[in-house]
Structure 1
């Protein structure tokens, strides 16, 4: 008969213990299939054999209606009794060679792997696919004593599988906000060794609307596979919709347009920023025409999310981590731009660990940082952090760094410095405005992040005014986020130039006050005249 052809895109692992109150298991299963689940594993850790067989039989009847194969977790006897497509085993279950003898050559066998050596062994013993994990912490099983792989650890195992024909799914802590990051960050540079799918438990099973939950995940996976198999910009989901004119004139005109949108719409920008710069960031936001709100309590930020235009998370003093986790998840859920400023991320292990935890819970739209911060995220040895400052010789090719990191993180990357480099993974922009006084005041980088948030909100509003409705659940944010990042950088730096030229500015103290004045007085015409923007690719 031969083995069943398997689409691993959205692989549902059942778990009746995660069902929400009042939700029927079989109803939930059918709704998830309607939403786009492509493979189902029946997982029953506590059921006796008779109950397991009955659950598997009824589940298979439902899955058969949608031509979706069924696998059985661990129990070979249940697989044989029900006649499913195959089994999934763990490292401590029946050894794979013996399982193959028992189920025969036509059954699918998958095995969980969490290390490179386990992946090597799975390939040698003839696994059809591997489940790689846990990627991130998960409530579906006890992983407290296991090292979380993260996207990069997944990528190391994918390198072992390259060219073997063994398929792969990732599992553990995966949900819609961090899915894009996982798919892009685990993929090799040649795009050949990428995940075939994702295994999901609670994000679908625990949902009151499993059809919608499955559909959102399926849209992202399908879009990722589509762009990886073509020459399309791999970050099309996270940048401008449609074709972009990449001339300098078009970008500067776009910045001018967003300045008008901010003044007209006064978007509300939620800023979770460090304690040193709260007042300056709020004043800069007001000066360009937006409205700031600074809130950190988890309950408060959750309620605020539907009303805001964008969210800035600047973790300079890392005093409100729980609020940041909630706010970021809600921003993703409500499809609001999320600007992440990982201040001094490379300076301490606590900051690195906090960033990993935050990025496991939500997907940033734009990441802004200085050379030390971007270098830490890119794992570069060319620069390092000393507190909030960068040390080292600098990047030999800053444009290539931001472009590669944008593709890896599925986000727009902003590298600030004497020249600023901005990329969405396809286009790289370089700007050369600014003044040396910016390096002599506290919070200039933080204020830049605030303005990027303002213009990200404006870009989203501009998109909505022209398109009226969201059409694709996989698009976490609509609007030209590359242009928004450029606008925040250019507007701030042009205002700094104008402020520094004023006769009443005698040094950093008078410059700080003049900077807010000139942000307030800045016009699109002044920006057009003074903007120094280059396209590098």
Structure 2
């Protein structure tokens, strides 16, 4: 039987990456002290004698800390030094032959780029797979396409029902580790067992600190995965929504909005009306500073330009870095190939907390033709089973999904809230959907402010339970306010409805929401 290995932080060595003056063995020992759980020695350019020497010295240090040693490619070197395992690529020695040559109990790993590679690895009976490359990397010449974070989950589902472990490989570092771990989960919930890291540790002058940072993130992610959600009833959700409606004016969160310039003023006004503060900024050089101080980020692609992508790219990346929730509004994504390509790039780059859109937009994102889009509007009667759709889509994207329409459907991948509030006049004014995105972002910021106060610091890249309720709160506040103001005698149509709606949002109370809410939880 192969040795039971903790793959959490899987170090792949690379002596050519060491900082000037840093000794290889010193760096290796410090990295293990920092939290590396398994070491793979990779020596692409060393001759056999030199490889064996380096592997022997590495094993001495690994044995000192009871950390398994894996040899890259070379079965002969692994046998010579008594290594715990061998990792091979698709073009290296065949797994069946390697298994015959190695001692019983030796761990065997295989690099996989496609779902077919993973399925074949299962048939071959490997102990673990390395899936990637997830991100671009300078430490290895890539012969296969980068699969992206979202592509890992598609490959992980091939491991369902097996005991085979999985690590992600390729360009992983502390700055993208949360995104990698959170986004790399199959629809069935199969997560990574660890990540392979090279330059983030080896190239560091402080490898112990670098390894500790990575180890802490992996540990926090695994702890998060073991937590059980508690909100699954209508009363529980409404109670929490009411709490957020009461809190938002006290918290007064700052909401950074990169939004549709057609309705930027309206979006800012409704943000102020519900009790938050907007900042409408698109300059890339400001993105990190804003991520530090804002409570949430809204990215709305309604009027996105090819030369304006740097702002959303950086804003989303920094929001992940500082654990700020991202609300993503893929306006008209199905209308053009440009929008589809931009959205794919952005969703591969950073982890969003909430995706909000109408049926046509969601169908385009999900890759189904069940609902079509016409510009920014949907065509057709909608999804045949919207409850299952939003649940499955939320589970796939590892976020909260808000499907808007005459009836709104919201899911965190487990529960689905069906909301039946709203006046038809909402569909008669420009930008009501964009305004909803702003309001959802404001309540998600309020929800995460609670997490910051209670947990002292934000560790999770996405808090599904809090964002689920934050999204419900945003939708209910807008739709309930619309019902209340539509009955006012001064509201004659769309032209008088919009200013009345802003007034209504400024005055809507938790009791209004509680008494009007038409919510079903599945």
TM-score range, shorter chain: 0.7 to 0.9
* Residue 85 to residue 394, structure 1, CA distance change in 2 (3 Å): same
Distance between the aligned counterparts of 2:216 and 2:427, measured in 1?
43
Q: Which residue of 1 aligns with 2:212?
A: 212
Q: Which residue of 2 aligns with 1:295?
A: 281
Distance between the aligned counterparts of 1:444 and 1:27, measured in 2?
59
Deviations 1:76-119 (A, max 9, x none): 44434433212222223334444445444443332222234444
Distance between the aligned counterparts of 1:424 and 1:105, measured in 2?
44
Answer whether contact 2:325 2:461 (CA < 8 A) is retained.
no
Q: Which residue of 1 aligns with 2:234?
A: 247
Q: Which residue of 2 aligns with 1:388?
A: 376
Q: Which residue of 1 aligns with 2:408?
A: 420
Q: How do 1:432-447 and structure 2 match up within 5 A?
A: 432-447=420-435
Distance between the aligned counterparts of 2:262 and 2:420, measured in 1?
27
Distance between the aligned counterparts of 2:2 and 2:36, measured in 1?
20
* Residue 307 to residue 24, structure 1, CA distance change in 2 (3 Å): farther
Q: Which residue of 2 aligns with 1:176?
A: 177
> Does 2:33 align with 1:8?
no
Q: Which residue of 2 aligns with 1:239?
A: none
Answer whether contact 1:136 1:173 (CA < 8 A) is retained.
yes
> Does 2:445 align with 1:457?
yes
Secondary structure (helix, strand or coil) at the match of 1:462 reads helix
Q: Which moved more, 1:476-485 or 1:322-331?
A: 476-485
Answer whether contact 1:312 1:449 (CA < 8 A) is retained.
yes
> Does 2:271 align with 1:285?
yes
TM-score for the superposition, normalised by structure 2:
0.88
Q: How do 1:161-240 and structure 2 match up within 5 A?
A: 161-162=159-160, 166-174=164-172, 175-184=176-185, 186-187=186-187, 189=188, 195-205=192-202, 209-219=209-219, 222-223=222-223, 227=226, 233=228, 236=229
Secondary structure (helix, strand or coil) at the match of 2:184 reads helix
State the Cα distance separating 1:290 from its structure 2 match: 1.0
> Does 2:363 align with 1:345?
no
State the Cα distance separating 1:162 from its structure 2 match: 4.9
Q: How do 1:358-373 and structure 2 match up within 5 A?
A: 358-373=346-361
State the Cα distance separating 1:12 from its structure 2 match: 2.4
State the Cα distance separating 1:50 from its structure 2 match: 5.4
- What RMSD over aligned residues (CA atoms) do the two structures have, in Å? 3.0
State the Cα distance separating 1:176 from its structure 2 match: 2.2
TM-score for the superposition, normalised by structure 1:
0.85
Answer whether contact 1:137 1:148 (CA < 8 A) is retained.
yes
Q: Which residue of 2 aligns with 1:261?
A: 247
| Structure 1: runs of 5+ lacking an equivalent | 237-242
Distance between the aligned counterparts of 2:328 and 2:3, measured in 1?
44
Answer whether contact 1:180 1:220 (CA < 8 A) is retained.
no
Q: Which residue of 2 aligns with 1:481?
A: 467
Residue of structure 1 aligned with 2:365, choices 370, 373, 377: 377
Answer whether contact 2:139 2:198 (CA < 8 A) is retained.
yes
Q: Which residue of 2 aligns with 1:506?
A: 492
Distance between the aligned counterparts of 1:462 and 1:55, measured in 2?
51
| Structure 2: runs of 5+ lacking an equivalent | none
> Does 2:398 align with 1:410?
yes
Distance between the aligned counterparts of 1:478 and 1:129, measured in 2?
29
Q: Which moved more, 1:114-123 or 1:424-433?
A: 114-123
Answer whether contact 1:170 1:197 (CA < 8 A) is retained.
yes
Deviations 1:125-158 (A, max 9, x none): 5543332222343444344x63333466545544
Answer whether contact 2:178 2:461 (CA < 8 A) is retained.
no
State the Cα distance separating 1:449 from its structure 2 match: 0.9
State the Cα distance separating 1:173 from its structure 2 match: 4.5
Residue of structure 2 aligned with 1:308, choices 275, 287, 294: 294
Q: How do 1:59-208 and structure 2 match up within 5 A?
A: 59-119=58-118, 121-123=120-122, 125=124, 127-143=126-142, 146-150=144-148, 153-155=151-153, 157-158=155-156, 160-162=158-160, 166-174=164-172, 175-184=176-185, 186-187=186-187, 189=188, 195-205=192-202
Secondary structure (helix, strand or coil) at the match of 1:505 reads coil
Answer whether contact 1:204 1:214 (CA < 8 A) is retained.
no
Answer whether contact 1:204 1:213 (CA < 8 A) is retained.
no
* Residue 58 to residue 452, structure 1, CA distance change in 2 (3 Å): farther
Answer whether contact 2:130 2:168 (CA < 8 A) is retained.
yes
Q: Which residue of 1 aligns with 2:510?
A: 524
Answer whether contact 2:112 2:130 (CA < 8 A) is retained.
yes
Distance between the aligned counterparts of 1:475 and 1:491, measured in 2?
25
* Residue 152 to residue 310, structure 1, CA distance change in 2 (3 Å): closer
Secondary structure (helix, strand or coil) at the match of 1:40 reads strand
Distance between the aligned counterparts of 1:302 and 1:21, measured in 2?
30
* Residue 461 to residue 196, structure 1, CA distance change in 2 (3 Å): closer
State the Cα distance separating 1:211 from its structure 2 match: 3.0
Answer whether contact 2:412 2:465 (CA < 8 A) is retained.
no
* Residue 27 to residue 402, structure 1, CA distance change in 2 (3 Å): farther
